[in-house]
A and B are shown apart, each in its own frame.
Chain A
Amino acid sequence: MIGLAHYLVLSSMLFVISFIGIVINRRHLIVMLMCVEMMLLAVNMHFVAVSQYFHDISGQIFVFFILAVAAAESAIGLAILVLLYRCRQTIDVESIDQLKG
């Protein structure tokens, strides 16, 4: 039988993979943005599972808002990314070091 723990562990593994992706994938900004999307997917999975097993609908409402916000967020992020690419002809994070960090 599939219990809540299965879903929660799955979501935590997805979260860890995307977190590692952000940490090691410093070469490519688009992949970093995709890892953020994946992180939100892990969060959503957690919310949906808990919400359904404990019959509390507000978790799913939260997921709905996360989906809407993430869509808007990626639109803004990609707009900035395209602008930077036009300006610099690269989106390699390591060559984006005009500001020393």
Chain B
Amino acid sequence: MGTFLIANKVLLPEMLVFLMSLLTLMAGVFLPTRMRESSALVFAQTALWGAIALAFWGMLAGTVTLFSGTVVVDHLAFTLKVLSYVTASGVCFYAHAYLKAMKMPVLEFYVLTLLSVLGLSALLSANHFITLFVGLELMSMPLYAMIALRRHRSDCLEAALKYFVIGAMATGILLYGIALLYGATHTLGFPDVANAIPVAMHGHHLLMSFALVFITIGIAFKLGIVPCHMWLPDVYEGAPTIMTMMVATLAKIAALGMLLRLLVSVMPALFAEWQPLLMVLVVLSLFVGNVTAVKQANLKRLLAYSSIAQLSYLLLGVFTGTTAGYSAAMFYLATYVLTTLAAFALIMCFRREDGEEAVDIADYAGLFQHHPWHAVMFAIVMFSLAGMPPFVGFIAKLQIFQALLQTGPFWLVIYALLLTVVAAYYYIAVVKVMFFDESQTPLRKVSLGLGNGLLTLNALGVVMLGVQPSGLLTWLSL
């Protein structure tokens, strides 16, 4: 009975999210039409903020393992879960006015978002490969479908299909890696596998390396880092901006969660194998991401390539193999998510004359003259992504570099610093266009409804956390 109560208490956030997604679905059927959309937003926000509160309450019980070790709630799961609930709540606020303007089905959006968050939180709590896989799929499948929700636009459908095919293939590769690991260890629970790996290393060294490579490639596809990044710019560009926001935030939280869980908790014995693997990925991603971003004329594509570069800093934190590095990666993820939310929300604010979304950098010429506050917010976001001092992006990069300096290699620090300079160039180029170029045709600003206030808060948050990061840093440290 005691275990049952603890089980209930710890899993209450997930239960609430699941329940509210069903309620939202029912709201679509039984409520009068005019109340549907706002009540769906209320349900979604209740679910997410209720889940945050319940997660904090459940965490009082400490680390708990449930259902014969298929589910675990520890500090890693707890912090990333809270981060994903907050992110999803922000996405829902930003989405409300946008969905109506883009003629996307509103209720389905909230239902699928809640289910996706449910999958994400199961994935983060996974202590068994089966839970991990099912959570991963429950998180990704709503994303495939939601990109296609703007179903009369062929570019959105194309983005959805590309994301789907790549996602399905990545799942296949990841699963084959897990199958190979299972072949060597004959067990699927994380602690058991971690214990069995050193033993299995003797007879099946090649097999283990294969499993590791397949699993890492599977995660690399989900993260979208080089050499598994070809789909990413197309999906970012073609998807409705609200969905780009979700792919750029929620999916990355999942990928880091998986990376920390699998490489750090399950395969610490293979550290000597996975460290060089990560190094190759980081070196390639830093270069390709930053150098390709320079040439981009489309703001969403630029952010796509910049995300490849940003995530490679995050990988750099995991690469160090120290607790300081992992904590730095967690902090980097939190700040990246916060900044990315603001960046895409700002893009959602502006339309061209013909009603299309303003996605080209040239569209934003002279933004400062017409919409000074939005131009300033854009500048804050870009400076933070570039890692300039007063903003939170600087602290995040500082943490990563501090951790990396402890372990080396030194040339990697220099290499990453050099490419940070390249990155600063294209971020500042965008800001320059906004502040100093002459505008051709002024952009039309649309209201985000409740999202307007949140956007201001979000941009100020980027500054405030840059000035006062210590609270978040302590909370996120592993």
B-contacting residues of A (Cβ < 8 Å)? Answer: 8, 11, 15, 18, 22, 29, 32-33, 36, 39-40, 42-43, 46-47, 50, 54, 56, 58-59, 61-62, 65-66, 69, 72-73, 76-77, 79-81, 83-84, 87-88, 96, 98-101
Contacts and interface: CB of A to CB of B under 8 A. Distances in A.
B161 A59 contact: no
Contact of A81 (B130, B137, B161, B172): B161
Contacts of A58: 130, 187-189
A47 B242 CA distance: 38
B197 interface: no
Contacts of A56: 186-187
Contact of B168 (A15, A33, A83): A33
Nearest to A64: B130
Contact of B148 (A11, A61, A62, A80): A80
A46 B214 CA distance: 15
B161 A39 contact: no
A22 B171 CA distance: 14
A46 B178 CA distance: 10
A72 B141 contact: yes
B460 to A, nearest CB: 34
Given A50-B183, A76-B145, A98 B158 contact: yes
Nearest to B159: A99
A73 B157 contact: no
Contacts of B173: 39
Contacts of B317: none
B129 interface: yes
A98 B155 contact: yes
Contact of A73 (B141, B179, B231, B233): B141
A11 B335 CA distance: 43
B165 A99 contact: no
Given A33-B165, A73-B168, A80-B148, A96 B133 contact: no
How many chain B residues sit at the interface, stated as a range, is 35 or more
A76 B160 CA distance: 10
B144 A76 contact: yes
A87 B162 CA distance: 15
Given A50-B182, A62-B129, A99 B234 contact: yes
Given A43-B179, A46-B183, A88-B157, 12 more contacts: A11-B179, A39-B169, A47-B179, A47-B182, A58-B130, A77-B164, A79-B145, A96-B161, A98-B158, A99-B155, A99-B158, A99-B234
Nearest to A38: B172
A72 B138 CA distance: 10
B152 interface: yes
B144 A80 contact: yes
B352 interface: no
Interface string B213-234: 0000000000000000011011
Interface of B: 129-130, 133-134, 137, 141, 144-145, 148, 151-155, 157-162, 164-165, 168-169, 171-173, 175-176, 179-180, 182-183, 186-189, 230-231, 233-234, 237-238
A88 B152 CA distance: 10
B109 to A, nearest CB: 15
A36 B157 contact: no
Contacts of B169: 22, 36, 39
A66 B168 contact: no
Contacts of A22: 169
17 contacts: A33-B165, A40-B172, A43-B176, A43-B179, A46-B182, A54-B186, A59-B188, A76-B144, A80-B145, A80-B161, A81-B161, A83-B151, A87-B151, A87-B154, A88-B157, A96-B158, A101-B234
A96 B130 CA distance: 35
A91 B64 CA distance: 48
Contacts of B133: 62, 65-66, 69
A96 to B, nearest CB: 6
